[in-house]
Structure 1
Amino acid sequence: MKDIEVKVGQKFPLTIKRLGINGEGIGYFKRKITFVPDALPGEVVLTQVTKVNQRYLEGKVLKVRERAPERTNPPCPVFFLCGGCQLQHMTYDAQLNFKQQIIIDSLEKYAGHVKPGAVKPTIGMQKPFRYRSKNQFPVEKSGRKIRAGLYKEQSNTLIDLDECIVQDKRTMETTQAVKVIMSELNIDVAKNVNKDEGVRSIMTRVAKHSDDIQVILVSTTRDLKKLDLLTERIMRIPNVVSFGLNINDDRDLLLGEETVILDGQQTIHETLGDTEHEVTADSAFPINIEQAEVLYTTIFEAADLSGSENVADLFCGAGGSSLKLAQKACQVRGADFNDQEIINATYSAAENNIDNVLFETGEPVDKLEQWIEDGFFPDVILINPNRSGLTSDEIDAIIEIKPAVFIYISRNPSTLAKDLAHLTRAFTVEYIQPVDMFPQTTQVEAVVKLTRKKRL
């Protein structure tokens, strides 16, 4: 079939058939797949082409001619500019259905033998706004005024945010105060890391239950001008108990390896379910505390412990799931690459008087094999990899060990489905439970319970 002639700027009506994994509407213009952000299934939209590729088209909505019942007016005034959220134009029930469906679609594509019925409805929030306890906004200068916010989608244009309705209000109020102080002191900003020295971003984290607030400025240098005065004024912001610098001159990293606390506490105190935690500036501690409690409870239920089991928690982070499982396990061991996270986890175990856990730094699967050699054989293995999923070595190790229960925490439906295609040689998928950790976005986490197949 001869390829169709389409030009950038061309307009045409398009019927949207489904949503893509990034929340974009998908339709077909003369049989060529067309991706249109902010369009919903069942809608007919007047589309203008923004990109032409040999295999697909990209477009934008000029007008919604036929509106889907799931469409709602996004409450954020910059939703159609900002790239932070993707789904505010959908009702929340529709968002939850979408997150369940993208897992089903991924299974159909990569692991068709796993039945769609294994995917449970997504667990959502009663109030799906104001849930983020941490922000990190890049900064730039306009004269002396400091601007901070998020970049317009697929651009270098910074949207100066005074408000963000998915952020805890306290983080936004604190960030606004920091912007004013930096403006008044004319603090240097490094918009171009290769040329400038100064602050790159403002990071603010609030503890949901203690109200402790920590402010970290990500800077190319620790020698900021007027740093003493800056420190003094930031520490006077209500509830700020910790202020420091993260030194980072690598343009590809959000945070550098070195964080220096200049005044106040080294950590902020947070409560997550039944456990107390001291959270450091560079910790990957959950930023949706309410849903983290739901996630850990879901993991606990999947483990179905009787009290006699050994549990291995791989990529354990700050140890939240390990400490939850320790409530009913015989012994729990956790491993992670990040030495600071292991220190945090160990400290939290001691603070909560939990003595049946051991945390160690190292490559998690290597640690697992070492534990087995030492006589610690896990009945339950929990693994929580990053969005790239499991490596082939990790999959092979899990299949060889064959624990009675294997719990996989996924952050990416596509890599989850690809991994399950291999893991199901040794395990049966009991169920997949999606949990909405980041409402208004396309991100979804899932707790997958797998059980060992009968040995031949």
Structure 2
Amino acid sequence: MIKKNDLFEAEITAMTAEGSGICRADGMAVFVPGTAVGDRCVVRVVKVLKKYAFGRLEELLTPSPDRTTPDCPIAGPCGGCVYRHITYEAELKIKTQRVRDALERIGGFENIPMEPILGAPSRTRYRNKCQLPIGLSKNGEMQMGFYAVNSHRIIDTHTCLLQPEVFDRAAEAFRAWQKLSGESIYDEAAHSGVLRHLYMRCGEKSGEVLVCIVANGAKLHGEDLLVKMLREAVPEITGIVLNINRERTNVVLGRELRTLWGKPTIRDTLCRLEFEISPHAFYQVNRTQAEALYNKAAEYAGLTGAETLLDLYCGTGTIGLSMASRAKKLIGAEIIPAAVENARKNAAHNHVTNAEFLCGDAKDAARILYERGERPDVIVIDPPRKGCDAAVISTIAAMRPTRVVYVSCDPATLARDLKQFTAEDYNIEAVTPVDMFPGTAHVETVCLLSKLKSTQHIEVELDMDELDLTDAEKKATYQEIKNYVLEHCGLKVSNLYIAQVKQKCGIIERENYNKPKSEDARQPQCPPEKEKAIKEALKHFGMI
């Protein structure tokens, strides 16, 4: 059995989702950062857990053919770019395989209709947003850069190859100003000092630049000097703002902004639409690849001008608005009020007249559409990293759109959610990975789902109360309960039997669920052995 500080020779055979190489020692998987598939190396064990271990590259014996010379001196300690030591072709293969592995292993899918990954035209200078934490070095001087992996230790950085060169110039001018002004540095532990973050945004098409200083206070020493030095170093700059964040928090931005010079927003163009971007507003970090992703999503949506398009998790409306000209009507739904207001402003600014935006979750949107007699033909979803709640997927299925376009930022939660969609009679038609963040471990995916066609169907009237699921019901679908009972007890159970047992356990409270149509009608009752098996499933899923 391996133990900490053991040395062993091994070959890297695969990669983790986080970008570490995988090798084996004494039958145990060992994860080694900074390695590549095909590397023959000496590894030192740094941590051993029950089923796997972590290692450090001690010596490279035979390099992988995928290796290349890293172009960034701090790629290792920074940890943001896990793939700068391999070719871009190798990186794209790894990301494609990551999506495929998740769909196969987590989703249980075979013969996946995978299209080629959409690679980026450049691995460098593609980010239009940067937030640099500020701290004190051991010698008492200001340092500014990025947090080291799994820590709040700042790696002092004077240039980052993921960000435009204009950010480097602005950061150097800010450093020079701090030395001249003597403005204090924020101490996270003591909650004292002023300067917390330097936050910058730029418009790739417009060329506009916004510099935002995040401070533990409402005023800076030498504000006029700061404005002068930034404007001299960055002629492209269009706005300088102070963000006031006095909270003990890891959240970068506070709520209050004060403009020191220029305007507090920038503008940029995405899919022929112009967006006004404030420090708080969401905007895709890689504009060029965002256009590639949105174009693929629009291709999958297959709009002809006759459809009602529902954009769930719409945020500030960018995806839906990019497709609005191809739809009869666009309806966006988002739970964050400020994002909904931004989406409405974006629609008005771009003269999009066939769009409306609702503030609420998926169930709220479904209820409003149902009460108005509207049914979306196509639904686009772009959920957060945690994916969709089971109740949201059930709601989407109940609305019966002909196509669902799922935009995902995490292959694992995508695979989990696609499994439920297929249980709800949707078929995976196409999957395309998109490399939005070259050099990093992240990969986006666009997936097209279509409603399965059947020669037989049953017309049902949807009671919107059925969309108001209890907390217990959100934990497992009927199909998941059926699968569990069949796998563990060898019994087949119906939705009716599951509903009867749920009612006995106090889960379902809606009076009309599976109620006979007449008082004299007789329903088959769940046999005792099946009731016992269903209760075991409910316990397994934490529903009782």
TM-score (structure 2 length as normaliser):
0.79
Question: CA, structure 1 residues 391+333, in 2 after alignment: closer, same or farther (shift >3 Å)?
Answer: same
Q: How far apart, in 1, do the equivalents of 2:194 and 2:281 lie? A: 23
Q: How far apart, in 1, do the equivalents of 2:271 and 2:141 lie? A: 41
Q: Give the Å deviation of 1:181.
A: 1.4
Q: Which amino acid aligns with 2:123?
A: P
The residue number in structure 2 matching 1:309 is 307
178-187 vs 306-315, which moves further: 178-187
Question: What secondary structure, in the 3-state scheme, does the structure 1 residue paired with 2:159 have?
Answer: coil
Q: Aligned to 1:56, which of 52, 58, 63?
A: 52
Q: Aligned to 2:281, which of 275, 280, 283?
A: 283
Q: Which amino acid aligns with 2:369?
A: W
Q: Deviations over 1:158-214 (max 9, x none)?
A: 221111111111122212222221222112221315431312111011111121111
Q: How far apart, in 2, do the equivalents of 1:301 and 1:376 lie? A: 23
Matched residue count: 451
The residue number in structure 2 matching 1:221 is 217
Question: What secondary structure, in the 3-state scheme, does the structure 1 residue paired with 2:171 have?
Answer: helix
Q: Give the Å deviation of 1:102.
A: 0.5
User: What aligned pairs does 1:24-63 form with structure 2 within 5 A after superposition?
Assistant: 24-63=20-59
Q: Which amino acid aligns with 1:125?
A: A
8 A contact 1:434–1:444 mirrored in 2: yes
The residue number in structure 1 matching 2:498 is none
User: What aligned pairs does 1:326-337 form with structure 2 within 5 A after superposition?
Assistant: 326-337=324-335
The residue number in structure 2 matching 1:391 is 389
Q: Give the Å deviation of 1:85.
A: 0.7
Is 1:202 equivalent to 2:201 in the alignment? no
The residue number in structure 2 matching 1:120 is 115
Larger strand percent: 1
The residue number in structure 2 matching 1:405 is 403
Q: How far apart, in 2, do the equivalents of 1:338 and 1:279 lie? A: 17
Larger helix percent: 2
Q: How far apart, in 1, do the equivalents of 2:111 and 2:83 lie? A: 23
The residue number in structure 2 matching 1:241 is 238
Q: How far apart, in 2, do the equivalents of 1:449 and 1:181 lie? A: 51
Q: Give the Å deviation of 1:67.
A: 1.6
Q: Which amino acid aligns with 1:22?
A: E
Q: Deviations over 1:232-255 (max 9, x none)?
A: 544554222222233332333233
Q: Aligned to 1:91, which of 87, 91, 114?
A: 87
Q: Give the Å deviation of 1:57.
A: 1.1
8 A contact 2:173–2:229 mirrored in 1: no
Q: Give the Å deviation of 1:444.
A: 0.6
Q: How far apart, in 1, do the equivalents of 2:421 and 2:81 lie? A: 33
Q: Deviations over 1:2-38 (max 9, x none)?
A: xx1x332221112212111111111110001111011
Q: How far apart, in 2, do the equivalents of 1:341 and 1:180 lie? A: 36
User: What aligned pairs does 1:334-353 form with structure 2 within 5 A after superposition?
Assistant: 334-353=332-351
Q: How far apart, in 1, do the equivalents of 2:197 and 2:396 lie? A: 40
Q: Give the Å deviation of 1:269.
A: 1.0
Question: What secondary structure, in the 3-state scheme, does the structure 1 residue paired with 2:238 have?
Answer: strand
The residue number in structure 2 matching 1:152 is 148
Q: How far apart, in 2, do the equivalents of 1:154 and 1:8 lie? A: 20
Q: Aligned to 1:76, which of 46, 69, 72?
A: 72
RCO comparison, higher one (Cα < 8 Å, 6+): 1
8 A contact 1:250–1:256 mirrored in 2: no
Q: How far apart, in 1, do the equivalents of 2:111 and 2:264 lie? A: 47
Q: Which amino acid aligns with 1:313?
A: D
389-398 vs 174-183, which moves further: 174-183
Question: CA, structure 1 residues 265+49, in 2 after alignment: closer, same or farther (shift >3 Å)?
Answer: same
Q: Give the Å deviation of 1:129.
A: 1.1
Question: CA, structure 1 residues 361+183, in 2 after alignment: closer, same or farther (shift >3 Å)?
Answer: farther
8 A contact 2:223–2:260 mirrored in 1: no
Q: Give the Å deviation of 1:263.
A: 3.0
The residue number in structure 1 matching 2:370 is 372
Q: Which amino acid aligns with 2:261?
A: D
379-388 vs 174-183, which moves further: 174-183
8 A contact 2:181–2:221 mirrored in 1: no
8 A contact 1:15–1:43 mirrored in 2: yes
Q: How far apart, in 2, do the equivalents of 1:188 and 1:388 lie? A: 38
8 A contact 2:362–2:395 mirrored in 1: no
211-220 vs 137-146, which moves further: 137-146
Q: Which amino acid aligns with 1:189?
A: I
Q: Which amino acid aligns with 1:245?
A: L
Q: How far apart, in 2, do the equivalents of 1:146 and 1:160 lie? A: 9
Q: Deviations over 1:96-153 (max 9, x none)?
A: 11111111111122111x2353222210112221100110010113467432111222
- Which runs of 5 or more structure 1 residues have no equivalent in the other structure? none
Q: Give the Å deviation of 1:45.
A: 1.2
The residue number in structure 2 matching 1:269 is 267
The residue number in structure 1 matching 2:10 is 14
8 A contact 1:318–1:341 mirrored in 2: yes
Q: Which amino acid aligns with 2:447?
A: V
CA RMSD of aligned residues (A): 1.8
14-23 vs 228-237, which moves further: 228-237
Q: Give the Å deviation of 1:381.
A: 0.5
- Which runs of 5 or more structure 2 residues have no equivalent in the other structure? 458-544
8 A contact 1:131–1:168 mirrored in 2: yes
Larger radius of gyration: 2
Q: Deviations over 1:248-294 (max 9, x none)?
A: 32333233333343432131010112111111111120111111111
149-158 vs 83-92, which moves further: 149-158
Q: How far apart, in 1, do the equivalents of 2:287 and 2:397 lie? A: 33
The alignment-based identity, stated in percent, is 32
Q: How far apart, in 1, do the equivalents of 2:112 and 2:351 lie? A: 41
